[in-house]
Structures are given as structure tokens and as C-alpha cells.
Structure 1
Amino acid sequence: MDVIVLGGGLMGTACAYFLARRGARVTLIERNRIGTGATVASFGNIRRTGRHLSQLPLAHRSLRLWGEAEKMLGRDVEFRVTGHIRLIFDEDSLADMRAYAEAALPWGLELEELGLREIRARFPGLGPDAISASFSPHDGSGNPRLIAPAFAEAARRLGAEIVEETEVETIRHTGSGFLVASSKGAFAAECLLNTAGAWGARIAAQFGEAVPLDARGPQMGVTEPLPHRIVPVVGIWTRNKDHGAYLRQVERGNIVFGGAAERVAVDLDPGRAAADPMRLPTQLRAVARLLPAIAQATVIRTWSGCEGYVRDMLPVMGRSATTPGLFHAFGFSGHGFQLGPGVGDAMAELIMTDRCETPLDDFRVDRFGRAA
């Protein structure tokens, strides 16, 4: 089977790899360079905590694949099982965490509740004002700059064609397949897989499928290297978006942080997002609540990227409802990094076998039409 994949972020490259591994002839087309869209803007969090319950089967599938990534791809993508802690500072957030933990348990996610003494003993320096925390020991982090190029190269070794810096001009359904005209020539295939991220809704709209999606850019930052002591990924349970910060310390000692800053609107033409330095002080105050020591650190870089946010914060994933041979996997709303390998594996299974062991019904592209 011939498949054209549109979009070369984590989702597209993972799909290309798993499709090629199942024997498909794959052409991946990327408008810029591999991994330069939402993927490079990612925090690198590999978490299941706090996900919509219907995402957990896909998240479990993906976590297993993250554990196999180095062997599978032939290079270290810096996946580390560090655990994921979410600090709690008030009783309402504690109630929210307990309700989520109870609801997630039948879905296969077990969260450990930590009291004040356990936080101090196991994670000194974190959240001195916290009253409790959740801990997921099997989650962790990976390097967003390494993972998409690693999948692309592994797919290439399996015979996939990776075409970068290529503008798609027209897409036509021919009845027996798809014809894509681009700045580097025409490509034909039986199936078309839309993994175009924030641009995915534009492609879906060409086939009569409307998806309410906004393109936005997160604000991310990284400090100078500090003495290494923060092992887990750190987040927060809160209803206040101004407090919703997160951080992790990489092995080189730098602290990567994000959250607690409004995501800025991004024009898809040209689709470049920039961090706003005026938002940094507010963001750092929220991060310092989780780790007071960061107040003494120097921020050496900030950045952003173009992400696609769907109205209900769930991705669009699965078959087209209008066009045979068309499939979608886009709109991961700022929390797709952990899901990437699972998305690739699940979409390859769906395209190549016409079934998928992971339930995808909640992510159907026509759910908006049904709700209207």
C-alpha cells in the first residue's frame, strides 16, 4: 500500500516509521524541516497524569513504545523514567486530584498520593508551601529535539521517502487515491494521512470536514545549568491557569520550564510563533512556587512554536468521515508529545489492517458535526 503523510513533526514521523515497518510504501512531505513545528516547542513531558480518561489507552500504548525507543530507533532520544509529581497547594485541588485518581484507576493509571513529609523527604526543595502531591512513578521525559529526526531517519532506513522544505500546492482525491501537487513535484498514493498539526484543520476542510482549531504558541524557557537535584518532572494541580507552571531538570543541569503564560495566537502564514519577554516575570513567579531555587537562576533562552488547539482539547484521529482512504491525526492541543509513538503505531495499524486495538471513537473528526 502507498501512503502519503503530510506533516513531519513527531506524529507524522512516527506514523511514517510504523507504516514502513508494516510494509507500506511511505512518502512524508514536510513544509519546513523535520520536527520544527509543535514538536520543537514541546516541554518533553511524558505524562499520563491529568489526561482525559479516553486518552489513557493510547497513552499506555505510547509509554510502552517510549520504553523501546532507543532499541527501536537506534539512538538515545533521552527518554528517562523519572516519575511525574504534581504539587497541590489548596484543598480544592486536593479534591480534584483525588477525584481524578479514583476515576483513572479503572483505566489502568495508579497515582500515589504524597503527604507533606513524603514530599520533603523524597523531593527536597520542591514546593515548600505544598500540602500534598500526586506521583506517577513510571512517567518521565524525552528530548523533543531528537525524537522526530530519529523517527524520520528510522523510517528512511525502512524505505520511506522523506521530502522536506516542500510546499503542498493542491490535494486531489482521484477516486482510486490521492494526487498531491507540490513545489517539488507530484506524489500519488492510495491513502493520505493528515498529520499537519496546526495546519491539519485546513486539510480536513478541503474534504468537507470542519474542525474548530486555533493555532497558538506556548511560552517555554530554560535556565543555565544548576547543580542536579530535581529528578522527576514537576507540575501542579490547580484550577487557576496563572499558576499552571511545570518544570524539569535535564541531565546537563538546565531547568526547562513552561506554563503560567497565555498562549499567543499564531498566524498560520507563515506559522512562526515567538516568546513574549514581557510575560517572563509572571511565568517565573509561578515556576518559583514549585521550585524556589529557580529565582536565583539565569534564563538563557526562551522560545515558542505553533500548536493546534481543538475546541474540546481532544485530538482528531482516525478515518475521514467523507473520503475513503483519508486519515487524520492532528490537533493534539499542546499535550501530544507523550502520545506520539502510540499515535504512529495506532494509525499504522488502522491504515494497514482496517482495525485498531486502541479505542479512537472519542477522537472522530465528525464529532463536531454530530454535536451541532
Structure 2
Amino acid sequence: MDVTVLGGGLMGTSAAFFLARRGRKVRLIERGFIGAGATVASFGNIRRTGRFLPQLPLAHRSLALWNRAETLLGRDVEFRATGHLRLIFDDSGMDKMQAYAAAAQPWDLDIEQLDKSELRHRFPGMGQEAIGASFSPQDGSANPRLIAPAFAQAAASTGVEVVSQAEVSGIIVTAQGFAVDTSKGRFESASLLNCAGAWGRQIAEDFGEPVPLSVHGPQMGVTEALPHKIKPVIGMWSDGHGAYLRQVERGNVVFGGGVNRTPIDPVTGYAKVDPALLGKQLEKVIQLVPAMRNVTVIRQWSGCEGYVADDLPVMGPSSTTPGLFHAFGFCGHGFQLGPGVGDAMAELIDTGGCETPLEPFHIARFQ
């Protein structure tokens, strides 16, 4: 086997898929069910606005793949380029948006800047107290429940061996590469890609590469089905925890943000929402769309996400062990990046280089 990929979320399944398309023999190992970790807990936002600027080339690469997702995977994963509308409620938010829009232009991201009258005309009913907004028309959303299983199924049809519900008990370096001991046996390969999400920290630490990563869970919720009136994904420019929402085609409104994330047991990865935070969260959701004031919330959920201290992911080759690669710690904003991460890591493993700059995310920055 050429490559073992650890982690069956969006990063791992897409990496396995793109490695197989490059002719590599690949095995994908997941400790639980495919796509049932941080990926399924995601909001589903395909957003480039507000990202760390050197991350934009990776975000552009990923958006191109999102646009081809149905063709690549042979199924609809509900990617819709409905645009990303980010509302502004104060002067601080306006300054932040204008500074980012100017800085992002050299990185090939043009953001439409809307004043109050333009916002009211183009998006009536959105943020009645907003003084302006930014709009990125090519961004949008996709379904977090569909994407990782779709990549895993497409990878399997391309020859990838998918092993789920296989708890990893140890990894050792061998003369041929790596041996991964799991509850379903030992698996060997020449290279190893660590896409284990929140558990990626322990794998890196076992190879002498500590990463300052903490584990938290988002506060997510969804409403009853409503008439479909909200086309773009909506967020806000905020100094604190900004809320965000989107309406799916079935009419339900998915929302998140607005409050602190909840702590998680890093061993079990079990995440749960804090019902006491719902009221504060909904205040910000209503600020985005006042018409949602009397809407019923039907479900809440959370998930296990890994947050690196500098709010940037770990991507690239190991600094201690040849043949080991990392792609984890996406800090709650990795959904948009997912296909691009998988494609970039496949290129790096296959060729030894990557056309998309990954240096800002190298694990050596913590040494």
C-alpha cells in the first residue's frame, strides 16, 4: 500500500479520493463512521471572505473543486453558489470590512461593498439595523451530511480500501514505512497522512511534533421549515462571536455562532450543546433576519472540532519523520477548504511539491 490516510472526515476522504486519481494505492482508516465527526457538525459554509489572506489560494483551489463536485463524485452534495452576505452593524465592523476588502484584492478576491440603501434594495428584510454589508457572489454552501460519504464512496469506486470503525491503538515506523495497529488489525504503507481532526494532535505528538490544539464544540441549531426567502449565506462583521445562518431548499434555517463554543472531553470527543446559551444566540440570529423572531427551533447539535492556538491549520510534511504528512486542526472553518486540502495534500504526497502555497501552515512553526 502506498498511503494510509487516518481520518474519514472531509479532509481525509477527499485526500484519499485525489490520491487514488493520481494512481496511488490508498487505504482510508476511520475510528468511527465516515463523516460523522467535525464534518457533519459543520454549518456547511463555503466562505472565502474574512480568511487569513495567505489561505486564499487554497480557498480558491477548493472553490473550483466545489463547483465540480457533482461531476467528480457522481452525486449532488447540495453545493449552491448562492453568495455570502456579511452584514455590518457598527463603525468598527465597517472599518474591518473595508480594510479586508482592500487587502484581499491582491489575493484575487473581489468583495462587493454594499451601503445601507444597496443592501435594502438587493436583500430586503436582511439585517434591518445593518449599516452596510459585503457580498461575495461566488461563495455559498453545501450539505455537511453528504460530502464526506460521497468522497468516500467515490474513493472506494476508484480503488481505495475504506476501513471504518477501526480504533487506532498505535503507529510505528518500519523499514517499509508505517504500521498502524487498529481494532481491525495491522495495516502497513509507505506513507501516512494524518487527517484525524482533533485527534491529529496526539498523532503528531507521538512523532515529536507537539501542537497547541484545544478541543471545542460549536453551538448549532435548525428551525422548522419556512417559505424559502433567504438565498445567500448570511453572517456578520463582528469583533466578537458573530452569528451566521442559511436556509436550505427544504425551508429549514440552519444557524450557529453568536456564543462561546463548549468544551469537550478530548478522549471521547463527545460534544453537547449548552441550552442556556440558546437565548443569547437567537438574539444575534434575529439581528440578521428579524422575521425569524417567532420561528420554532426544532433541533440543536454540536461536534468535536480542533482549534490551533494561532487559529490556522496544520498542513504539510512532518518535520521529524519522512513519509508522514499532516492535515488537521482547521479551527472550525475548514469546510470550505476541504476538497482543496485533499487535492493539495494528494499533490504534495505524489510529487513532493504543491502549486498552492502551504508554508504558513507547516507544523514546524511550533518548534
TM-score (norm 2): 0.99
Whether 2:303 is the aligned partner of 1:305: answer yes
Partner of 1:294: 292
Q: Structure 1 stretches of 5 or more lacking a match?
A: none
- After superposition, residues 47-196 of structure 1 pair within 5 angstroms as 47-196=47-196
Per-residue deviation, residues 106-154 of structure 1 (Å, max 9, x unmatched): 0000000001111111111110000010000000000000000000000
Match of 1:276 among 238, 261, 274: 274
Q: CA deviation at 1:268?
A: 2.0
Whether 2:24 is the aligned partner of 1:40: answer no
CA distance in 2, matches of 1:95, 1:150: 40
Q: Secondary structure at the match of 1:366?
A: helix
The amino acid that maps onto 2:17 is Y
Q: CA deviation at 1:96?
A: 0.8
CA distance in 1, matches of 2:65, 2:357: 17
Per-residue deviation, residues 303-339 of structure 1 (Å, max 9, x unmatched): 0000000000000000000000000000000000000
Partner of 1:338: 336
CA distance in 1, matches of 2:234, 2:251: 15
CA distance in 1, matches of 2:119, 2:260: 29
Q: CA deviation at 1:174?
A: 1.1
Q: CA deviation at 1:176?
A: 2.9
CA distance in 1, matches of 2:27, 2:240: 43
Match of 1:324 among 322, 325, 341: 322
CA distance in 1, matches of 2:260, 2:92: 23
The amino acid that maps onto 2:37 is G
The amino acid that maps onto 1:246 is Y
Per-residue deviation, residues 11-61 of structure 1 (Å, max 9, x unmatched): 000000000111111111101000011001100000000000011000000
TM-score (norm 1): 0.98
Q: Structure 2 stretches of 5 or more lacking a match?
A: none
CA distance in 1, matches of 2:164, 2:292: 39
CA distance in 1, matches of 2:157, 2:92: 51
CA distance in 2, matches of 1:31, 1:268: 14
Q: CA deviation at 1:240?
A: 2.5
Match of 2:312 among 300, 311, 314: 314
Q: Secondary structure at the match of 2:298?
A: strand
CA distance in 1, matches of 2:168, 2:23: 25
Partner of 1:28: 28
The amino acid that maps onto 1:250 is V
The amino acid that maps onto 2:306 is G
CA distance in 2, matches of 1:268, 1:312: 19
Q: Percent identity?
A: 66
Partner of 1:4: 4
CA distance in 2, matches of 1:270, 1:149: 22
Q: CA deviation at 1:93?
A: 1.0
CA distance in 2, matches of 1:152, 1:160: 8
Q: Which runs of 4+ in 1 moved over 4 A?
A: none
CA distance in 2, matches of 1:214, 1:268: 8
Q: Secondary structure at the match of 2:293?
A: helix
The amino acid that maps onto 1:154 is A
The amino acid that maps onto 1:298 is T
CA distance in 2, matches of 1:281, 1:95: 29
Partner of 1:361: 359
Q: Secondary structure at the match of 2:272?
A: coil
CA distance in 2, matches of 1:55, 1:287: 28
Per-residue deviation, residues 261-304 of structure 1 (Å, max 9, x unmatched): 21111112211101111110110001100011111110000000
CA distance in 2, matches of 1:257, 1:311: 25
The amino acid that maps onto 1:259 is G
CA distance in 2, matches of 1:121, 1:268: 47
When the two structures are aligned, how many residues end up with a matched partner? 367
CA distance in 1, matches of 2:170, 2:253: 43
Q: Secondary structure at the match of 1:332?
A: coil
The amino acid that maps onto 1:275 is V
CA distance in 1, matches of 2:108, 2:239: 25
Partner of 2:197: 197
CA distance in 1, matches of 2:168, 2:51: 33
- After superposition, residues 254-265 of structure 1 pair within 5 angstroms as 254-265=252-263
Q: CA deviation at 1:256?
A: 0.3
CA distance in 1, matches of 2:271, 2:54: 30
Per-residue deviation, residues 43-90 of structure 1 (Å, max 9, x unmatched): 000000000001100000000000000000000000000000100011
